[in-house]
Amino acid sequence: MKKIILLAIMAVLFISCNSNVDLDVKDNYTFTTTYTINCYPNIIGYPRTTIIVTTKNGITENDAKLVAASLTNATSEKSGVFKFTSTWECIYILTKNYVDPGDRVVN
């Protein structure tokens, strides 16, 4: 019985230690932030979209998640009969896996 308890404790410690090591690995991340402004009712020139690509070196995956979450937001504002909505959406990927899509056509 003591051996089974000892093996169970060792297994839990082994699994716990392995998951913590993965969170502390520092790597390079690329962030793609898409900023879109919509107008209701529709007027010429809207929606407007801007895509911003940045990189950050030597951070953990948890840090990358926090950065992406802080750059994701939505707001709205009314001006007369027009309602403007702004959205920021940020995603992240390991820089070594990032593929630049090249020239983008943004409406």
CATH code, domain with 87:
2.10.60
Residue 89 within any structural domain of the chain: yes
**42-76 pLDDT per residue, tens:** 889 999 999 999 999 999 999 999 999 998 999 99
Whether pLDDT at 107 is above 50: no
Q: What angle do CA 79, 81, 83 make, to 5 degrees?
A: 60
91, amino acid identity: I
Distance separating alpha carbons of residues 87 and 49, to the nearest angstrom: 10
Is residue 25 within 8 Å of 59, Cβ to Cβ?
A: no
Residue 14 within any structural domain of the chain: no
Mean pLDDT of the chain: 81
pLDDT at 99: 79
Which residues are registered as beta bridge partners of 81? none
Q: For the chain, how many structural domains are there in total?
A: 1
- State the pLDDT confidence band at 6, using cuts at 50, 70 and 90: very low
Give the residue numbers spanning the domain of 52: 25-97
Q: How far is CA 85 from the centre of its chain?
A: 20
Whether pLDDT at 14 is above 60: no
Residue 40 within any structural domain of the chain: yes
Residue 70 within any structural domain of the chain: yes
pLDDT at 24: 78
Residue 67 within any structural domain of the chain: yes
